[in-house]
């Protein structure tokens, strides 16, 4: 890669980090954020000032030792006590305020991105878009971006920026001291005499520049390896969660060997990449450890001739060594923080790809909002759905659902019945549609899937979801459970559990139906939501759902394969094969449910 390309890559990364960093300091918490940041800056400046005072103290103290001046020795020990106490106070509050800023920034950043992720079904559409591009396409594991990467980004950004500020201020403060103390270095070459002022400063610069260049070339592979490590860790953790969620099915199928093999493969990826990281860090540590150890004696080697010639005393030698160490530490900031910089860049790239995926959604989402129907009905004038890859899947034209209608949607598995419901709900991205919807469709429509979702918590939370539990009285909640044939749960409203795992498949479907009976929607879409029930329970619950919808002057639209369900529907839509050059299937209305 040529230098301009490297410079461009650095500029792009700096731009990403800046765009991620600035919103918090311009948010509704900006004054608290700026105050904390300013206080940390002041404490860093105070810490550097304390180092300057300690550097001067070095000269006086060691001169007292060389001159065997007991009075000055004990006086400087007392002065050191005050200096040390001041430095400790500054260090404690710098740490405390830094952690406080990181915590507040992470909290704001997590809320900001979580709100964007959970708005307008983005969390669902992002997964669809990602798998349309391929399972390995970004952004992988958004849970990790929110839980871990936000934490790492704020921690690295604050720590590295304050460290860089400290390095710059320390360099400015000590380079003048070192320049003055180091004197000049004279030598002759081809009969000409040369004199280099501030010799120790130039030696420090040369020493650190060479070290920084070497560090970059040795440690560069860590950037990509850190990015991959976070991904492999998240993939492994995700599969562990899936095993826990589907534990019963895996146990019934005796799938433990398969899961053990899958987990082993994912953990092998974690270990293989981590081993690469270890080796990369080992190579870097060989250099940085040697670089650091050489820096301890380097200033003494350079300044020793002046000390042995009597040009400087022990105190000045120690002051030179201290000042050289500070200058060298400042100039070696890149060397010392290379691993952190690599991890910071990987984290920044992961959050940036997460953010960019939000912007990518509108270009992939072709759904258009429906118009308001003039006659309080669902009118599907022109609806086309496609698969994630763009292949036309389903078309529906000239269909209508009015209040009081009961419609059964039938078709072979995989023909797009559930996808049609997703298109009507507005969550399927690959849709071209022209709809006219009732004014209350957004608030009074409800979709019952085959596999319902229940949040962990109390039973009343699971039953009322997504409404707050206190939106309904205990009497209404208990009656909904009775109507859904769940009398054993009536007195367990305040019991906390993972209801999605605790209840059987049939009980989960009945609890979802209880939720529908509780909320009383006008437009109810049922997608195989009684498939786990026996025919007797299914018939009783379908009759109850149909009656409740009619009470609300609404409509019931169902997907089902059992012939017995047809009795609860007056109309039927069939999915029939489409034209050769068009969608695979087309929705066709028939006179009555068969």
Cβ neighbourhood burial of 161 (10 Å; 0-12, 13-18, 19+)? middle
**pLDDT recorded at residue 543:** 94
Contact 405, 515 (CB under 8 A): no
Span of 117-131, 478-492, 512-526 with lowest mean pLDDT: 117-131
Read off the pTM.
0.71
530 vs 357, more confident = 530
Arithmetic mean of pLDDT over the chain: 84
Q: Where do runs of H (alpha helix) occur along 451-563?
A: 459-464, 474-483, 499-502, 505-519, 535-551
291 vs 471, more confident = 471
544 vs 296, more confident = 544
Distance, in Å, from the CA atom of 292 to the CA atom of 332, rounded to the nearest integer, reads 9
**pLDDT recorded at residue 60:** 83
Convert 223-250 to b/e letters by CB count within 10 Å (16 or more is b).
Answer: bbbbbbbbbbbbbbbebeeeeeeeeeeb
Q: Is the pLDDT of residue 4 over 80?
A: no
Q: Tell me the mean pLDDT in the region 508-515.
A: 95
Q: Alpha carbon of 164 to those of 47, 156, 222, 381, 402: distances in Å? A: 14, 12, 20, 62, 67
Q: Tell me the mean pLDDT in the region 188-203.
A: 71
**pLDDT recorded at residue 14:** 85
Q: Is the pLDDT of residue 479 over 90?
A: yes
106 vs 331, more confident = 106
What proportions of the chain, in percent to the nearest 5, are helix, strand and coil? 65, 15, 20
What percent of the chain lies above the pLDDT cut of 70? 91
**pLDDT recorded at residue 122:** 78
Under DSSP, is residue 449 helix (H, G, I), strand (E, B) or coil?
A: coil
Pairing of strands 406-410, 445-448: unpaired
**pLDDT recorded at residue 280:** 87
Under DSSP, is residue 29 helix (H, G, I), strand (E, B) or coil?
A: coil
Q: Tell me the mean pLDDT in the region 426-455.
A: 86
Q: Tell me the mean pLDDT in the region 334-351.
A: 84
Q: Is the pLDDT of residue 134 over 60?
A: no
Q: Tell me the mean pLDDT in the region 210-218.
A: 80
Q: Is the pLDDT of residue 370 over 60?
A: no
DSSP H or E segment with residue 192: strand 192-197
Confidence of residue 311 (pLDDT cuts 50, 70, 90): confident
* Residues contacting 463, CB < 8 A, separation 6+: 469, 477, 480, 481, 493, 511, 514, 515, 518
Region 13-364: CATH code: 1.20.1560.10
Q: Tell me the mean pLDDT in the region 402-431.
A: 88
Confidence of residue 366 (pLDDT cuts 50, 70, 90): very low
134 vs 453, more confident = 453
Distance, in Å, from the CA atom of 510 to the CA atom of 376, rounded to the nearest integer, reads 30
Pick one of 3.30.420.40, 3.30.2270.10, 3.40.50.300, 3.40.640.10 as the CATH number of 371-590: 3.40.50.300
371-590 and 13-364 share a CATH fold: no
Q: Which residue has the tokens 């022209």?
A: 434
279 vs 290, more confident = 279
Backbone φ, ψ for residue 415 (5° rounding): -85, -15
And the tokens for 291?
């670089």
Q: Which residue has the tokens 């129907």?
A: 373
**pLDDT recorded at residue 408:** 94
Task: Measure CA of the first residue to CA of the last residue in the chain; give whole Å.
Answer: 68
524 vs 284, more confident = 524
What percent of the chain lies above the pLDDT cut of 90? 31
Cβ neighbourhood burial of 402 (10 Å; 0-12, 13-18, 19+)? middle
Q: Tell me the mean pLDDT in the region 140-154.
A: 83
Distance, in Å, from the CA atom of 495 to the CA atom of 515, rounded to the nearest integer, reads 17
Distance, in Å, from the CA atom of 106 to the CA atom of 152, rounded to the nearest integer, reads 9
pLDDT per position as a tens digit, 550-578: 999 999 999 998 888 999 999 999 988 87
Contact 31, 39 (CB under 8 A): no
**CB atoms < 10 A from the CB of 483, how many?**
18
Distance, in Å, from the CA atom of 477 to the CA atom of 491, rounded to the nearest integer, reads 10
Q: Is the pLDDT of residue 23 over 70?
A: yes
**pLDDT recorded at residue 243:** 82
**pLDDT recorded at residue 374:** 55
**pLDDT recorded at residue 591:** 64
428 vs 39, more confident = 39
Locate the domains of the chain by residue range: 13-364, 371-590
253 vs 543, more confident = 543
Q: Is the pLDDT of residue 365 over 80?
A: no
């Amino acid at each position: 890669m040529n230098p301009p390309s490297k410079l461009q890559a650095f500029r792009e990364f700096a731009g990403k980090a800046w765009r991620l960093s600035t919103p918090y300091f311009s948010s509704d918490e900006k004054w608290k954020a700026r105050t904390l940041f300013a206080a940390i800056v002041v404490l860093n400046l105070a810490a550097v000032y304390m180092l300057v005072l300690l550097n001067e103290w070095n000269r006086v103290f060691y001169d007292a030792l060389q001159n065997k001046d007991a009075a000055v020795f004990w006086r400087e020990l007392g002065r050191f006590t005050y200096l040390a106490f001041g430095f400790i106070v500054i260090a404690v509050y710098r740490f405390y305020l830094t952690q406080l800023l990181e915590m507040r920034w992470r909290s704001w950043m997590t809320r900001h991105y979580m709100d964007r992720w959970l708005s307008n079904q983005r969390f669902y559409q992002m997964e669809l878009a990602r798998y349309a591009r391929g399972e390995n396409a970004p952004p992988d594991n958004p849970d990790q971006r929110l839980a871990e990467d936000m934490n790492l980004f704020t921690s690295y950004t604050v720590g590295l920026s304050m460290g860089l500020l400290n390095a710059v201020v320390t360099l400015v403060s000590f380079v003048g001291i070192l320049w003055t103390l180091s004197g000049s270095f004279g030598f002759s070459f081809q009969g000409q005499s040369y004199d280099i002022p501030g010799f120790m400063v130039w030696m420090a610069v040369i020493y650190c520049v060479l070290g920084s260049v070497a560090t970059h070339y040795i440690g560069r592979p860590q950037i990509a390896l850190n990015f991959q490590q976070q991904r492999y860790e998240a993939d492994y953790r995700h599969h562990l969660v899936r095993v826990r969620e589907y534990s019963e099915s895996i146990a019934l199928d005796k799938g433990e060997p398969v899961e053990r093999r899958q987990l082993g493969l994912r953990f092998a990826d974690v270990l293989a990449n981590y081993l690469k990281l270890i080796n990369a860090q080992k190579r870097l540590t060989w250099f940085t450890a040697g670089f650091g150890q050489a820096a301890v004696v380097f200033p003494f080697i350079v300044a020793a001739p002046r000390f042995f010639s009597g040009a400087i005393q022990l105190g000045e030698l120690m002051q030179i060594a201290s000042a050289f160490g500070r200058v060298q530490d400042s100039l070696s900031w890149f060397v010392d923080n290379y691993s952190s910089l690599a991890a910071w860049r990987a984290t920044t790239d992961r959050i940036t790809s997460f953010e960019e995926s939000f912007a990518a959604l509108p270009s992939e989402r072709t759904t258009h909002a429906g118009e308001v129907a003039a006659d309080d009905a669902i009118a599907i004038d022109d609806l086309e759905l496609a698969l994630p890859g763009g292949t036309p899947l389903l078309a529906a034209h000239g269909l209508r659902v009015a209040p009081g209608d009961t419609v059964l949607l039938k078709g072979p598995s995989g023909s797009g019945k559930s996808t049609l419901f997703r298109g009507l709900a507005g969550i399927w991205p690959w849709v071209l549609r022209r709809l006219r919807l009732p004014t209350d469709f957004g608030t009074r429509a409800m979709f019952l899937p085959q596999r319902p979702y229940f949040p962990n918590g109390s039973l009343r939370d699971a039953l009322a979801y997504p409404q707050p539990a206190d939106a309904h009285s205990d009497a209404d909640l208990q009656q909904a459970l009775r109507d859904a044939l769940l009398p054993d749960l009536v007195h367990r409203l305040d019991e906390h559990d993972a209801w999605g795992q605790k209840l059987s498949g049939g009980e989960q479907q009945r609890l979802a139906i209880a939720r529908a009976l509780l909320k009383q929607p006008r437009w109810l879409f049922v997608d195989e939501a009684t498939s786990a029930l026996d025919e007797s329970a299914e018939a009783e619950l379908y009759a109850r759902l149909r009656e409740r919808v009619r009470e609300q002057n609404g409509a019931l639209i169902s997907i089902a394969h059992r012939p017995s369900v047809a009795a609860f529907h007056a109309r039927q839509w069939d999915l029939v094969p489409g034209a050769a050059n068009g969608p695979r299937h087309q929705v066709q209305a028939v006179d009555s449910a068969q």
